[in-house]
Amino acid sequence: MFKLLLSMLLIQGLWAKDFAPSKDCKKCHTDIYKEFYGSMHANSTPQKDPIHNAIWQKHPQKKQGKYGCGKCHTPTAPKFSMPTEDSAKHQAGISCAYCHRIASIEHHPISNTNLTINTPRAYFGTRKEHIKSPYHKILTVGNNHIQNGNICMGCHSHKMNRYKLNVCSTDKNNEMEKANCVSCHMPKVKGSVSILHKTKDHTFHGFAGTHYNSKMLQKYVTIKLDKNSNGFNIEVKNNSPHALLLHPLRVGVLKVSVLRDGKTTKLKKEIFVRIIGKDKKPAMPWSATTTLKNTVIQGKEDRVVKYDFKLEKGDKVNVVLGWFLVNPKAVKKLNLEDEKIATKFIVFKKESFEL
């Protein structure tokens, strides 16, 4: 039955042309819209994301007038069209209507493709008890791509460049039991799903990730201390099914310090990074041919960092795990010295251990 319904919805073509603007959702889905408005989905364009813009300015396609990034960054705009500030379709980013019209994911070696229904104002939802709306259709029967997290895999699965290097990959072969992209990055939070249908909670639409709301993901990473005769170990366990950092531009840092008798001793920082390059030198994603270095904590990995600092009774060990969205060594090359989001160290999780 669902396949028949889907075929009818897709009969005019696999790619939808007209999407309602996200601001249309604001009146009824007040809490959800507020979360979405501050998310990376709403701010995915070069004009709104300075890091994406810095990469785009150096991309070979810019000179060709071909915005290939738009497939995922501005999916409601015409294919390959240049992202302009006055284009409503570009500045819509990854809109509410777009995501909720994804019917299925087409898998390809280079990158996946989202297939959207071509029926305006017909959206896939998750709440079976909320199946009527005076403003749009809510499609729920038979399609569980939102519940199982596959809705994210059209853009967040993998990206292969022309040299067959997987530039950015999310390994879904190692799924957590009863968890997926949606359940982790879009958890249930307090607040009604709509003013027309009051509920105690709704699915978070701020999309917890490295940029914003990362503290929502803290529970998937644990930090422990193990004292021994030679010093101590800090154990960082990544309980998620994918690497702790996915994009090669990002750098993770583990900072450890010991407080003793009022004096703080900072120990050597541990760096987690994936460097892609060509001819043994770092290179941009489109020209990189290999991975030069990869120390990023992988999915389900238990990383142990050893310190030869001998602890004493009364010591307090402070541990901070966080990251830079842009590798500090690349900030100047990308002309991002004045962008706070590119130079700020983002604290993900802190732990203190008293002996």
Q: Is the pLDDT of residue 13 over 60?
A: no
Q: How confident is the model at residue 120 (pLDDT cuts 50, 70, 90)?
A: confident
Pairwise CA distance, residues 118 & 31, whole Å:
27
Taking residues 183-205, report their average pLDDT: 93
Residue ranges of E strands in 78-217 = 102-106, 113-116, 122-124, 137-139, 158-160, 166-169, 188-190, 201-203
Taking residues 83-87, report their average pLDDT: 96
The pLDDT of residue 130 is 60
Q: Which residues pair with 317 in a beta bridge?
A: 258, 353
The pLDDT of residue 125 is 85
Reported pTM: 0.91
Helices (H), the chain: 2-10, 30-37, 50-58, 60-64, 70-73, 88-91, 96-99, 181-185, 340-343
Q: Is the pLDDT of residue 141 over 70?
A: no
Query: Which residue bears the tokens 């099914």?
Result: 241
Topology annotation, domain 216-354:
Immunoglobulin-like (2.60.40)
Q: How confident is the model at residue 34 (pLDDT cuts 50, 70, 90)?
A: very high
Considering all CA atoms of the chain, what is the largest pairwise distance in Å, rounded to the nearest integer? 73
The pLDDT of residue 11 is 35
The pLDDT of residue 12 is 36
- What residue segments make up the domains of the chain, in order of their start? 2-42+94-203, 216-354
Q: Write out pLDDT tens, residues 222-240.
A: 999 999 999 999 999 999 9
The pLDDT of residue 9 is 45
Pairwise CA distance, residues 296 & 287, whole Å:
21
The pLDDT of residue 131 is 63
Q: Write out pLDDT tens, residues 170-184.
A: 865 544 556 789 999
Task: Work out the number of other CB atoms within 10 angstroms of the CB of residue 227.
Answer: 14
The pLDDT of residue 7 is 47
The pLDDT of residue 36 is 98
Share of the chain above pLDDT 90, in %: 81
